[in-house]
Amino acid sequence: MGKPTVAGMYDYYLGGVHHTAGDREAGDRMLRAMPTLREVTRANRAFLRRAVRYLTAAGIRQFVDIGSGIPTVGNVHEVARAEAPDSRVLYVDVDPEVVALSASLLRGDDRAVAIEADLADPAAILGHPECARLIDPARPTALLMLCLLQWLPDEVVVPSVRTLREAFPGGSFIALSHPVAPPVNDPTAAVGEVYRATGARAATARTRDELVALFGDYVPVEPGLTWVTHWRPDGDPGVPDPVGMPLVVGVARRPER
């Protein structure tokens, strides 16, 4: 049975088809530890759709989606182009299998491209030839980091997010989703045990204040950092009740100078 991966387990929770027996086995253990996990991941994807629609309505045509994961239906470029066909999307993931799968699904599309890079090396993302080709750094851009930052320590997250948000002009946005509770970084917790098998460090649940600080000079748009199902709900009947959803989300905008 193959080693589970964060991306494969996430695909399993979402009911996708891109996961292994190892992902299913580890995923089932996670679901026993946290029975709402399927609903939480679906709510996170529903937030992604609402956020991308909001961003296109705000005039954004360039998206950099870091920790983009396995492409599932309703990906950023599909949602953005339904509203704004000229949208460009750079997908970034550290997992080479995820990138290979994304690249095969995006083949022939020269305005939605997947690259392999690590959030820990923002210069490699910003300096990548595909980033230079797709993303004009002088134009407002949306940086998406959904269910990503919990896998990385502050020593990586704080400087990397600062470098990325400073790379884009006024009118740019950051969208985040991140667990706040329960404390999944407890090394004795079942959640930590399962994810250690992926080789990922145990996920870190951050406080709201720590997450707001990651926005830097970007200002959260209404309703601020809030529970995943509370951010601009659109009446989608597929969005479950927030009870037991330890995930907060937010979108922030860099003011014009």
Ligand X SMILES: C[S@@+](CC[C@H](N)C(=O)[O-])C[C@H]1O[C@@H](n2cnc3c(N)ncnc32)[C@H](O)[C@@H]1O
Chain positions contacting ligand X, by CB under 6 A: 6-7, 10, 44-45, 48, 66-69, 92-95, 98, 118-120, 146-148, 151-152
Q: What SS3 class is residue 248?
A: strand
Q: Which of 82, 169 has the CB closer to ligand X?
A: 82
Q: To the nearest whole angstrom, how small is the minimum distance from the Cβ of residue 152 to ligand X? A: 6
Check if the beta carbon of residue 245 is closer than 8 Å to that of residue 40: yes
Q: Which of 45, 50 has the CB closer to ligand X?
A: 45
CA 77/CA 69 separation, integer angstroms: 14
Lookup: tokens for 183:
């404390």
Q: Which of 123, 217 has the CB closer to ligand X?
A: 123
Q: To the nearest whole angstrom, how small is the minimum distance from the Cβ of residue 104 to ligand X? A: 16
3-state helix, strand, coil in the chain (%, to 5): 40, 15, 45
CA 3/CA 22 separation, integer angstroms: 6
Q: To the nearest whole angstrom, how small is the minimum distance from the Cβ of residue 41 to ligand X? A: 7
Q: Which of 152, 239 has the CB closer to ligand X?
A: 152
Q: To the nearest whole angstrom, how small is the minimum distance from the Cβ of residue 200 to ligand X? A: 7
Q: How many CA atoms lie within 13 A of 195 on its CB side?
A: 23
